[in-house]
Amino acid sequence: MPRPLVVVTDFIRPPLDHEERILGDRADVVALEAFSEDELVGRIEHADAIMMYHFLSISRRTIERLERCRIIVRCGVGFDNVDRAAARERGIAVANVPDYGTEEVADSALAMILAMTRGVAFMNTRLQLRQGPWIYEQVRPLERLRGMGLGIVGLGRIGTALALRAKAVGMAVSFYDPYAVDGLDKALGVTRCDSLEELLPRVRVLSLHCPRSAETQHLVNARTLALLPRGAFLVNTARGGCVDAGAVLAAIDSGQLRGAALDVLEEEPPPDDDPLIAAWRTPGTAAHDRVIVNPHAAFYSEQGLADMRIKGSTNIRRVLDGQPPRNVVN
């Protein structure tokens, strides 16, 4: 019998130190370094296990070509880029790695909140371009962070980690999560809201920590942005599809949003003609001064990157050794 084959589809390049250390005595491990599903054709069909990241999607057309795959591990928290139903029909487990970057994403969200609400990013950009005077008045008015309302959508691992950090700097934390267990608000000392319509008018900063799904697609849109107090701030370290970027640009231009920090976009990397990105890159526009864009990097630290590779490889090792997989999402 041939040795099992583990395919790493994207994002991770050789050397595969973590993967080889955990799987090398049990399977052959190859990295395809693909950027699209089309690049998998003829290279993935014989895989016994697949490790995938966020550069591409795996749809039914790929899953139906898999001849002996037992598990697909989405090495990250989100799993909207794999057809879980199609995999289940073929008897293939889909698992994620839900606990690899909790601290990093929460830290990044808080850093973005501080950079916007304290005017750090705004003043830095304007001083670099010599568009503003050497005085604090260019960023007026700023409000004290202590007591400022922070709204969190999705109080899972990362949302909870952000809530604790925000409380430590004195923010008044509220959240909306219809799937959170009763009493979580009491345990954390935060305020629960039963709807977005209840949450949004009471917060100055909105931070998203929910998965992308049919329920959350464009959850932040023109209608919901209008429910925020004028001059609010938006942070998205969740999934790009949860936010209508066109509505964000309009809200920035109108002043409804005073700032937006986006670690994730609906299309990554974004095309050059994306209106939000084009405005962000153009000095003198409101988006240039008031929008922060990062390249899907909130998860990153050397330890966090190693965690998702190690945890993903360990889960595949379990399956190859005949044990049930962990964190199955289908």
Tell me the three-class secondary structure of the chain, residue by residue: CCCCEEEECCCCCCCCHHHHHHHCCCCEEEECCCCCHHHHCCCCCCCCEEEECCCCCECHHHHCCCCCCCEEEECCCCCCCECHHHHHHCCCEEEECCCCCHHHHHHHHHHHHHHHHCCHHHHHHHHHCCCCCCCHHHHCCCCCCCCCEEEEECCCHHHHHHHHHHHHCCCEEEEECCCCCCCHHHHHCCEEECCHHHHHHHCCEEEECCCCCCCCCCCECHHHHCCCCCCEEEEECCCHHHECHHHHHHHHHHCCEEEEEECCCCCCCCCCCCHHHHHHCCCCCHHHHHEEECCCCCCCCHHHHHHHHHHHHHHHHHHHCCCCCCCECC
Q: Which of 212, 239, 258, 290 is catalytic?
A: 239
Catalytic site includes residue 290? no
268 tagged catalytic: yes
Which of 81, 80, 50 minimizes the C-alpha distance to 65? 50
Whole-angstrom Cα distance, residue 182 to residue 190? 12
- Active-site residue, selected from the candidate residues 126, 290, 296, 317: 296
Q: Identify whether 54 is a catalytic site residue.
A: no
**Which one of the listed residues 89, 197, 215, 268 is annotated catalytic?**
268
Catalytic residues: 239, 268, 296
